[in-house]
Amino acid sequence: MIPAHVGIIPDGNRRYGRKYNLPLHKAYEHGIEKLREVVKWSKQLGIKILTVWGFSTENFGRSAVERKIFFSLIERKLREILDSGEMEKNDLKVKIIGRLEKFPRSLQRMFREIEERTVNGGLRVNLAFGYGGRQEIVDACNKIIKKGIKRVDEKIFAKHLYTCDVPDPELVIRTGGEMRLSGFLSWQIAYSELVFLRCLWPELKRSQYVRAVKSFAKRERRFGR
């Protein structure tokens, strides 16, 4: 059994750069190329939804130089992918989630263009930018307050999350050797199965990814029952 929705914390880009003596922009570029591979692998495996953490709210605390490098690279690579028609060819439906207003306006416009051009795609890819699990919960609360809703249950609350239109992830994979979730989809992954891989994100091999995804079939999911 293959999980319908897989979440990914692609950790280890900067450590990869240090390990192979690469400049920061090259390390990030390797990470982006790995994501393109993982999307293809996911389609081959029959995964329906992929949610990938691209940039956290905490990452805004990095140096202005590093942020500029990352934003410039993301904008260049996304433009390259858009102009090539790769997203349409691969039948992707891309959704950008997070506090997007914190990004440069040119990048915000590109996020909107990506969503508009892939609206009819098949494989759903959620890219989390300016994302933090606690911040998502706070944003959901503020949406509910703004609507004047007086009584809230889990279903109502879930309808105000960034991922309100897709089921929760059944499996979460984190690369980089860290054994924590760092606030990734804090509400949604209450019952998700977890896989932690030691390899750095750009080093991830297809065999490792396939093994991680297929390990889901061996898990017994009781949901407390």
Alpha helices in 20-122 (DSSP H): 24-45, 64-84, 86-89, 105-117
Q: pTM of the prediction?
A: 0.94
Structural domain contains residue 224: no
pLDDT in tens, 189-219: 999 999 999 999 999 999 999 999 999 988 7
Structural domain contains residue 133: yes
Domain boundaries, position 164: 5-218
Q: Tell me, what CATH number does 130's domain have?
A: 3.40.1180.10
Structural domain contains residue 118: yes
Look up 153 and say whether it is catalytic.
no
Structural domain contains residue 225: no
Structural domain contains residue 74: yes
pLDDT in tens, 108-128: 999 999 999 999 889 999 999
* Pair 87, 118: CB distance under 8 Å: yes
Write out the E strands in the chain: 5-9, 49-56, 92-97, 123-131, 171-174, 193-196
pLDDT at 1: 87
Catalytic residue among 21, 59, 120, 165: 59
The closest of 161, 122, 169 to 6, measured between CA atoms, is: 169
Structural domain contains residue 147: yes
Counted domains in the chain: 1
Catalytic residue among 11, 13, 126, 168: 11
Look up 21 and say whether it is catalytic.
no
